[in-house]
Amino acid sequence: MTHGEIRALLVSYSFPPVGGAGVQRVVKLAKYLPQHGVRPAVLTVRNPSVPLRDESLLADVPLDVPVERAPTLEPGYQAKAKAWQSRTSVTSVVARNLLFPDPQVLWQPAAHAALLARIAAGRDDVMLVSGPPFSQFLLAPLARASGLGVVLDYRDEWSTLRASYEMGRSAVARALGDPLEAALLRRAHAVVTATEEFRENLLARFPSVDPARVHAIPNGYDPDDFPADLPDPPRDRFVVTYAGTVFALTSARGLLGAVRRLHERDADLARPMHVRFVGRIVDTELPSFDGTDALGVERVGYVPHARVLRELAASHLVLCLLDDVPGAARIYPAKVFELMRLGRPVLTLAPSASALARLAFRHSLGPVLPPRDEEAIASELHARLRAFAAGVNGCGSWRNGADLRRYDRRALAGEFAEVLREAASRSRRGRRRGS
């Protein structure tokens, strides 16, 4: 395997100024791949139809990394979401069955045209496509046929999204999802998954895929995101913070039920507790927050990523949420690695047999409780509040430096660089055999 410089095209619909957790994986690759002999370029969407924007994330994109933005035919996010969520309108039924595998397929005409122009100009040696959305994987056949190495990166599981979210309600997705995924996997020279559990499940579902070509590379943290002047938690109230999107996989229903129980049992003890949700809360989860404002629950909304870390640092306890739903057992929320680097005590609410629970146990992050066990969660919060009332501030930092280095984005970019080289090499060998 040669370690000379290669040129890699990173394809991601989720890229700054798009906000949210899915952006970090690719933007950190654009930042750190050059340290490992890979010259990146980015292909993304010009007019993203998304709920969140975070202009501050553009600061992580090196000025010398070319970013090409191709337009999508999607409508604005609000109009798209309204049409997608309706179960009765003709527009919704047509959209649900024709926009397969996801609404972002409307980006594919321009994305294919942009890729074809890059191929004609000979700009790239290998292409990495990071999903979701998984319609981006449709670029794989063109790239492979044109001689590029192809890497498919699973930030989430395609099958879990089909089963748990809007795609699962589409008859077309149910009938054609697995065959399409199998066909696109055959076009890949290498595949990356965000957890080892993703990898094992993918190989079990598609036995024809060569295990040697499937690599598990987790998400991580960037040391540059952690300034030295992060604040300490306050002494006049006990702050509990969750940062991230609240949706089906990260439902806070069990936690909020526990907060209600705690106030019913011992309002005086619970009064200093301030529970903060920093990030977007999807409409389907909003009803679970009804009446919690009076119990010290604050919905901060989405804030720039740099501020998120300050909000977490100013907390006595930080939360990692993963509800007990199909597919959750194989998932790590990407935020957990930043929580590990931050070092504040972590309360993990996750299924006991999940990959996240095993990660929390392995690194001694703190207690792991079932996400819907209101009684157990209330008891844990009660014990911490009693200690706080007794003068124990409870904000001592956790550190496990040797293990933590595994999740440094700089090191993870090196793992990706090896996969990209491997894919480029396999493509070259394939072309030689073909000739």
How confident is the prediction for the chain on average, in pLDDT?
A: 91
**Of the candidates 81, 15, 9, which has an alpha carbon nearest to the alpha carbon of residue 48?**
15
Mean pLDDT of 382-407: 77
| Low-confidence winner among 74-78, 226-230, 279-283, 372-376 (lowest mean pLDDT) | 74-78
- Could you give the CA distance from residue 26 to residue 32 in angstroms, rounded to a whole number? 10
Predicted confidence (pLDDT) per residue in 355-381, tens digit: 999 999 988 899 999 999 999 999 999
Residue 167 confidence (pLDDT)? 42
- Could you give the CA distance from residue 386 to residue 389 in angstroms, rounded to a whole number? 5
- Could you give the CA distance from residue 286 to residue 352 in angstroms, rounded to a whole number? 26
Judged against a pLDDT cut of 60, whether residue 394 lies above it is answered with no
Element (H, E) at 201: helix 196-205
Predicted confidence (pLDDT) per residue in 204-242, tens digit: 999 999 999 999 999 999 999 999 999 999 999 999 999
**342 against 82, higher pLDDT:** 342
Sorted by where each begins, the domain ranges of the chain are: 6-220+408-434, 224-389
pLDDT band at 21 (very low <50, low <70, confident <90, very high): confident
**32 against 392, higher pLDDT:** 32
**Which residues are CB-neighbours of 249 under 8 A, at least 6 positions away?**
164, 322, 323, 325, 328, 331, 333
Residue 1 confidence (pLDDT)? 38
Residue 4 confidence (pLDDT)? 79
Tell me how many degrees the CA angle 79-85-86 measures, rounded to the nearest 5.
95
Judged against a pLDDT cut of 90, whether residue 201 lies above it is answered with yes
Mean pLDDT of 183-211: 96
| Low-confidence winner among 209-218, 316-325, 344-353, 393-402 (lowest mean pLDDT) | 393-402
pLDDT band at 162 (very low <50, low <70, confident <90, very high): low
HSE (side-chain half, CA atoms, 13 Å) at 234: 10
Which pTM was predicted? 0.92
Predicted confidence (pLDDT) per residue in 27-58, tens digit: 999 999 999 999 999 999 999 999 999 999 99
Which fold is adopted by the domain 6-220+408-434?
Rossmann fold (3.40.50)
Q: How many CB atoms lie within 10 A of CB 216?
A: 17
Q: How many CB atoms lie within 10 A of CB 14?
A: 26
- The β-bridge partners of 67 are 42
**Of the candidates 186, 68, 194, 77, which has an alpha carbon nearest to the alpha carbon of residue 130?**
194
Residue 99 confidence (pLDDT)? 81
Residue whose pair of structure tokens reads 């969407």 in the numeric block: 45
Mean pLDDT of 167-187: 79
The architecture CATH gives domain 224-389: 3-Layer(aba) Sandwich (3.40)
Judged against a pLDDT cut of 50, whether residue 155 lies above it is answered with yes
Q: Say yes or no: do domains 6-220+408-434 and 224-389 share a fold.
A: yes
pLDDT band at 326 (very low <50, low <70, confident <90, very high): confident
**346 against 402, higher pLDDT:** 346
DSSP tag of 230: P
Look up residue 353 and give its two tokens: 């047999």
Residue 431 confidence (pLDDT)? 77
Predicted confidence (pLDDT) per residue in 110-123, tens digit: 999 999 999 999 99
Q: How many CB atoms lie within 10 A of CB 404?
A: 17
**169 against 385, higher pLDDT:** 385
Q: Can you say how many angstroms the Cα of residue 68 is from the centroid of all Cα atoms in its chain?
A: 22
pLDDT band at 191 (very low <50, low <70, confident <90, very high): very high
**Which residues are CB-neighbours of 219 under 8 A, at least 6 positions away?**
24, 25, 155, 194, 332, 334, 337, 407, 412
Element (H, E) at 152: strand 149-154
pLDDT band at 85 (very low <50, low <70, confident <90, very high): low
Rounded to 5 degrees, φ, ψ at 391 are 100, 5
**Of the candidates 249, 247, 271, 251, which has an alpha carbon nearest to the alpha carbon of residue 259?**
271
pLDDT band at 96 (very low <50, low <70, confident <90, very high): low
Mean pLDDT of 274-293: 96
Judged against a pLDDT cut of 90, whether residue 74 lies above it is answered with yes
Residue whose pair of structure tokens reads 């991230």 in the numeric block: 244
pLDDT band at 401 (very low <50, low <70, confident <90, very high): very low
Look up residue 208 and give its two tokens: 């024809």
